[in-house]
Amino acid sequence: MKKCTDYSRRRFFRNAGLGAAAITGLPALLSSCAGKSSKPAGLEDLFQEGHVILFQGDSITDAGRNRNREMPNDAGSFGFGYANLIASRLLGTMPQKKLVIHNRGISGNKVYQLAERWQKDCIDLNPDVVSILIGVNDYWHFRLGRYDGTPEVFENDYRQLLTRTKEALPGVQLVICEPFVLPDTSAVDASWMEPFSAYRRSAARLAEASGAIWVPFQEAFNAGMNLAPASYWAVDGVHPSMAGAQLMAETWLKALLV
Amino acid sequence: MKKCTDYSRRRFFRNAGLGAAAITGLPALLSSCAGKSSKPAGLEDLFQEGHVILFQGDSITDAGRNRNREMPNDAGSFGFGYANLIASRLLGTMPQKKLVIHNRGISGNKVYQLAERWQKDCIDLNPDVVSILIGVNDYWHFRLGRYDGTPEVFENDYRQLLTRTKEALPGVQLVICEPFVLPDTSAVDASWMEPFSAYRRSAARLAEASGAIWVPFQEAFNAGMNLAPASYWAVDGVHPSMAGAQLMAETWLKALLV
């Protein structure tokens, strides 16, 4: 999935005009893969001056943000979650890039609810990078009998959303985050894992088909659970702790660099 | 100030029983300084399992935390500032240390107001590491005519607070953060810099005298202002942006490692 020949990734890196990649005349990722540069790609190489980055999703992205503000690069508008940690890292370490970073996650959202507000909360912001984390409510609310969307509905709705995004924003770099759950927690038990895996596989297929960067959150949490109990990373198995948000931020940043 | 012979730092590192330092039988910092270990000290070497870390200060530390919760390791209880970024980093990268991290900053506080609540909001938490950022309101409120404390009052009050802390918590590692302001912003102009420097010097003297780790925030922001305007780091010159909070977190972590 992270093939060096991925067209969307090439485009993303080709846009990064100010980094080492531009100096060599080759996209950083490609030059790294081809062994033509000894300098690994860094975050500096990924973003062009003035790039607009959007985080989209459900409560995990929302993370208590003040939805009355919705200002870019503003802590209160970002909430307490992984999007804040990532945005703070990007803004603090690359001041010269003048990045503009938004959070538009809304608690409780399923993929069709992203679609309902996509014009206002994505397209109109004209983002260069769109990171999406969605899926846990699509399963959770289905499991609870509050929603009749099947995994197939999820995948079809998600595919349409991505197609629409690429049509409206031809140069956009998509980042698709793996939805995840942690068993042996207050809300999630082992019986979630098999049915929920369908949603994870859907997201992975769509990432591959759309040339998105894939962020393997479930894999990261599985590794984390070898070091500390699931509840250390997310008390209810869905909403990450501070440690869980940090694990997500590191995983997201690493996915962009690989 | 960051001398390898600093007694308090030795003690801090000697407590770190699970890291590389313990393996060599020497405190990591000392062994690094003496050239007896090729492995530099990392965060892993600084903290012992179960260490309790406390962030104390004013609105910069408070950063919108929910004061009705005041739970350790809890994002809502931490607000949006540098303390959240540091705590997330420590908790996310060292799950096996089972760290317990508190934020007890309160907006508007001056040093005497820390003293008023120090038993409840510091001593009773029995911290192993206490990080303090205080001083901007001591000057700001004095400048506004709302407080009659001089720089001498600040230094004396602060010295008493530190003495009291070390008496009540003999093994504590103090971390004293440099108070800072950024001129050419909405609340701070150049006329602040000279009178405010007295507070910075007081904090530095007390850090040295008490064997605290010194975190040079003003120096970090001065360097940052070479890369982006002051308002990028703090719109009003006092309360950091996301970028400013990130800069503080990196500076704090680096100060512990040096």
**Cα–Cα distance between A65 and B85 in angstroms, integer?**
16
Per-residue confidence (pLDDT) for residue A39, from 0 to 100: 58
Per-residue confidence (pLDDT) for residue A42, from 0 to 100: 82
**Cα–Cα distance between B30 and B6 in angstroms, integer?**
10
pLDDT tops 60 at residue A28: no
Contact residues on chain A for B247, CB-CB shorter than 8 A: 92
Phi/psi at A21 (nearest 5 deg)?
A: -60, -40
Within an 8 Å CB–CB cutoff, is residue B50 touching chain A? no
Q: Which residues are registered as beta bridge partners of B54?
A: B102, B130
Nearest to B255 by CA among B212, B208, B200, B202: B212
Sheet strand arrangement including A100-103: A100-103, A52-57, A129-133, A173-177, A213-215
Within an 8 Å CB–CB cutoff, is residue A73 touching chain B? yes
What one-letter code names the amino acid at B126? N
Q: Assign A8 a pLDDT band (cuts: 50, 70, 90).
A: very low
What one-letter code names the amino acid at A177? C
| Closest Cβ–Cβ partner in A78, A244, A245 for B242 | A78
Per-residue confidence (pLDDT) for residue B39, from 0 to 100: 58
* Whole-complex ipTM: 0.87
Given a cut of 50, the residues of chain B with pLDDT beneath it are 1-11, 13-37
Per-residue confidence (pLDDT) for residue A143, from 0 to 100: 96
Contact residues on chain A for B82, CB-CB shorter than 8 A: none
Q: What is the mean pLDDT of residues A228-234?
A: 98
Within an 8 Å CB–CB cutoff, is residue B165 touching chain A? no
Per-residue confidence (pLDDT) for residue B87, from 0 to 100: 98
pLDDT averaged over every residue in chain A: 88
% of chain A surpassing 90 pLDDT: 81
What one-letter code names the amino acid at B40? P
Domains and CATH numbers, chain A: 1-46 (no CATH), 48-257 (3.40.50.1110)
Q: Assign A40 a pLDDT band (cuts: 50, 70, 90).
A: low
pLDDT tops 80 at residue A185: yes
Within an 8 Å CB–CB cutoff, is residue A82 touching chain B? no
**CB B76, CB B69: distance < 8 Å:** yes
Per-residue confidence (pLDDT) for residue B27, from 0 to 100: 30
% of chain A surpassing 70 pLDDT: 84
Per-residue confidence (pLDDT) for residue B4, from 0 to 100: 36
How would you classify the pairing of strands A173-177 and B173-177?
A: unpaired
Q: Assign A38 a pLDDT band (cuts: 50, 70, 90).
A: low
**A245 contacts B92? CB cut-off 8 A:** yes
Predicted TM-score (pTM) above 0.80:
yes
Per-residue confidence (pLDDT) for residue A7, from 0 to 100: 39
Q: What is the mean pLDDT of residues A174-185?
A: 98
**Cα–Cα distance between A78 and B246 in angstroms, integer?**
14
Q: What is the mean pLDDT of residues A216-242?
A: 98
**B74 contacts A63? CB cut-off 8 A:** no
Q: Which of A80, A82, A251 is the best residue to mutate to test the B interface, defined by the most B CB atoms within 10 Å of its own CB?
A: A80
Per-residue confidence (pLDDT) for residue A116, from 0 to 100: 98
